Structure 1
Amino acid sequence: MRVTTAYSYAASLANLQKRQTELNEANGRLTSGKRVEKASDDPTSAARAERALAVVSRSDANQRALQASRNSMTLTESALGDATELLQQAREGIVASGNGSYSDAERSALAEKLKEIRTQLFSVANRSDGAGSYLFAGQGASQPPFLDTAAGVQFRGASGQINVGSDEALPLTINGADAWLSAPSGNGVFETRATSTTTAWIDAGQVTDPSQLTGGSYDVQFSVAGGTTTYEVRDAGGTLVASGPYAQGKAIEVDGISFTVGGSPAAGDRFDIVPSTRSLSVFGVLDRTIAELTTPHRTGAQVTQSAQTALRDIDAVAGSLQALRASAGESLNRADAVEGRVSALKLYGETERSNAEDLDLVQAISDFQNQQTGYSASLQTYSSVQRLSLFQYIT
């Protein structure tokens, strides 16, 4: 086979250009730190890197949503804590109002204290999150969600709850209507009411045997004959379910519940027992208590009944807010756990992406040095081929 000078020259030049291209590529990889700079470098690794990048991007979005939920729940938990403290102050005032030695003027002064507490609670219920929204607006409201009307405080937000848009269902808001206007009435199972009496009162009652509960309503009436006071308990259909002589401080039991009537019931005095409903409003409790404290010339029994009912209801609404506060705290705890999972997933994505496209510097430096050596050899070869000329021999 005959190798011409022109062929040797072309082959050396092509090899030199190839070596120079490879050297430039190696230098580019060292500069960027990437083994795969474009999909054509390694299609399989490029696809792995894209999938890993999607994992990292989704993790970043989840972290932003997580932070939004954490900020909102932190503010909500703080607001509910403030409300609980205010209700505790209200409770102390209600306990003091039951003091039989207090005058109407002193009870009116306590009513003024409760009015101030109510104003502060209303401000807490309409507290903003600092970003144009409201903590208790439910699914959103452009204005404060609670409106104080002549008929009482009304919820004007959108009932419900908003969760962040992430892989984890974390709350962003709390349903304000449930938080402030929907505590269970009575003791949570049934509610006792003093319907018509000025000389006796009834306590909140309790459940003695859950298996006997009927969930019905009862009517308790008293009668006096021959100096003896008796009671009759009838159900909603008028059927007599319990009766007997009245003894102050002795519990009356019927269908798995018991309650105690105090004072001196008069003939015709009546008490009602109705099923509990989630209709107790924080503001309604305070409004009713304030109205009763500012009513003059009440009897001792009426004062006692007012204090007992107010204490029962204030404890119910406080318990409801405390339960929501615990829920907000649990959401914060869950956010901490979710953050760990999201961070681990993001780290996995970043590691996978690095494995797919990042450069092994030790290997890359070795390859670069080899390319330099090869390029130098190609230069020498090309230089030698250039000297293969007849004129060089002639001269």
Structure 2
Amino acid sequence: MKEMKLWLTILMVLALVASVPAASAITVDGIKDPEWNDNWAFGQTNNATAAGEYDVFNTGNRLEVRQGAFDDDTTIWNAEDPKNDSGTSHDETMATEGDSSGQDIMRIYGHYDFANDTLFGMTTVYGIPGDLDGDGSTNTIFDNRDTDGNAGPAGLGLGQWELWTIRITQTGSPAVEIDVQDNDWAIIIGPLAYSDVEAAFSPTADGVYEIAISDASEIWDIGPCQEDIMIEVRAGGTADTPGEDTATAFVHFTCPDIMIKKYVSADNSTWFDANTKLTAPVLENNSAVYWRYVVTNTGDEPLTSVSVTDDIIGFIGNIGDLDVNEEATLYASGTVPRLCTDYTNIGTTNGVGAVSGIPVTDNDPANYLCEPPEDVPAMTPIGLIGLIGALGLVGIVAMKRRE
């Protein structure tokens, strides 16, 4: 069993986690409002047309949609699935009577409730859930195959010939596939019990397909830097009929990271990385020494509260916010001691993931060597004998004078 990491409790938002107000807990009822947030979930950046709408401090539930699903993958991304697009594996139109069927996928949403370890998902459609022919009604036999007219665990409207399928996969984790059919659901693949799942839909113009899966962390690795989760959705019938549609969304888990490079210089112009003494410059005693600290956001989410310290100098400065791939540079200076010894100090940077709230840190050393003292001439044996003789002569002269 894969246990949730303790630090999950400090996460503000994962790619799948959205800032749903506390007063609007998600209820699996087949109704979108008021609990589902239409802002973009952070990290979904495959679709260029939607990229400008992302706001790291205004994250939500909505995910990007990739055309194709269920072994029909493509590289086509959309802010929302195109209307009247039945996917690359279906030739039929999206409806026989109207503009678009109730299984013409529009958007896919996801939310992970870490307090209850529950994964919520929702799919909106252009038409009305259960309306296969697109005439705006689920009252005809063609539309509503719910032959007995009784609501099941998933509501009322999807009969034995209509089907909504969700398949969720993640590298290194078990696959899960759930079918919603005949007003009920069934676990097709995966380590789930029937009671682990809730599903609902509502055959109204504002209706959606909605699902919840409990104990999600026992199936998938949920947390920063984990593998993406792929969610494939198919809405249609048990046979290849008009109105079927497929789409895929990905949950991206952010992975904040930071890097610092510290350099040393004798003239504030020529810089040495100087990670070791072998690469360190030689500085003159009692001369100026300069340090440069280059900090880069090497993760995939913006950072806040970025600062730099030095283990010997102390606090260097605050950088503040640092966007993905952005770098900032700070400087410090000092004086090489008059009585110098070889010198090493370590620069450290710290920051916090703007989305995940996860702290990140890195450090890098810099070295410099001291100018060696002036050489004192060595005493040779002949010189030593001469010195001893000279000292003896001085002693004899001194004794003569004393006598």
Q: Which structure's residues are more often helix, by fraction?
A: 1
Same fold (TM over 0.5): no
- Give the TM-score normalised by structure 2: 0.23
Structure 1 length as normaliser, TM-score?
Answer: 0.23
* Structure with greater Cα Rg: 1
